[in-house]
Amino acid sequence: MTWQGSLDKMETQAGETVQYTLPLGEQRLAMNPLLGQTLRLVHDGHIHCIACGRATKKSYSQGHCYPCSQRLASCDLCIMKPETCHYAAGTCREPEWGEANCMQPHFVYLANTSGLKVGITRHTQVPTRWMDQGASQALPIFRVQSRYHSGLIEQIFKAHVADRTDWRKMLKGDGDVLDLHAERDRLLLECQAELEGFRRQFGAEALQALPEAELFELHYPVLQWPQKITALNLDKTPEVGGVLQGIKGQYLLFDSGVINIRKYSGYQLRVEMCAD
């Protein structure tokens, strides 16, 4: 069997086990039933910008052509560093986009990915954000009024806890279960002075604590965790694959290596299921 089309990041659905769907243009390929099967992923050399659709020799900002990566607010540096928000500074290139995406309620959360980390996400992206990053546990701790505010709070916590995921460690298993409520209480105490400073600057209503927030626990479809992490690269090797042993975050785990699907958004891809 064969499926083909323009690749996009995998769609996720929470459940007893996270369910994955691979978008290939108009086609949607359910991935969980393919565990244990031998698959071949073939990139035909073509890439199309996920924003404007034009052909591009190289992908920028996870699937954009160079002009779009320079023009769109969604590709600005403040997406990675929200505390530098252009909208808050009055310099956003697309104010309407900023209002719809950045000047919206956000959560500051703790997650267990490759260990304890702090992160932020728009209120509409719960729990999608955690599934995309391969979190096995997640706990919202604050609700704030904008992405800018969430970035400022994240900066406060970064002095005490990581804000990045070690993707290699994340792909070796779910790791130890953490007491995220206890970690939250510890961080709130350690950051008390800075949080009070935030409230004085922006108002008490700008920072809503979530003491009763639900702890999310996520389980991923994995038959076997890789012992050694080898990254597969479609730019260097346009045909990759093997026995699909698992899926976590936006990674497919093959017996030959792992591939970050989101990295190749806009790539024209053919997926073949091979006979044993």
What would the pLDDT profile of 56-84 be if each residue is shown by its tens digit? 999 999 999 999 999 999 999 999 999 99
Please give the average per-residue pLDDT across 11-36, as a whole number: 97
Average pLDDT over residues 103-114: 96
Each residue's pLDDT tens digit, 242-252: 999 999 999 99
Is the pLDDT confidence value at 230 over 80?
A: yes
pLDDT at 21 over 80: yes
Task: Flag whether pLDDT at 275 surpasses 80.
Answer: no
- pLDDT category at 170 given cuts 50, 70, 90 is very high
| Residues 78/146, Cβ–Cβ less than 8 Å | no
Can you read off the two tokens belonging to residue 164?
Answer: 């990045």
Going by C-alpha positions, the residue among 116, 103, 188, 104 that lies closest to residue 153 is 188
Under the banding of pLDDT at 50, 70 and 90, the label for residue 94 is very high
First to last CA, the chain: 13
pLDDT tens per residue across span 6-19 = 999 999 999 999 99
Average of per-residue pLDDT across 138-142: 98
CB 207 within 8 A of CB 106: no
Its pTM stands at 0.95
Whole-number mean pLDDT of the chain? 96
Residue 45 CB neighbour total at 10 angstroms: 11
Q: What is the pLDDT of residue 276?
A: 63
**Which spans in 110-220 are helix H?**
128-132, 147-158, 167-170, 180-190, 192-202
Domain segments of the chain: what residues?
2-63+221-274, 69-217
pLDDT exceeds cutoff 80 at 150: yes
Calculate mean pLDDT across residues 138-163: 96
**Exposure on the CB side of residue 100, measured as CA atoms within 13 A:** 6
Q: What is the pLDDT of residue 165?
A: 95
In the chain, % of residues over pLDDT 70: 100
pLDDT for 175 beyond 90 = no
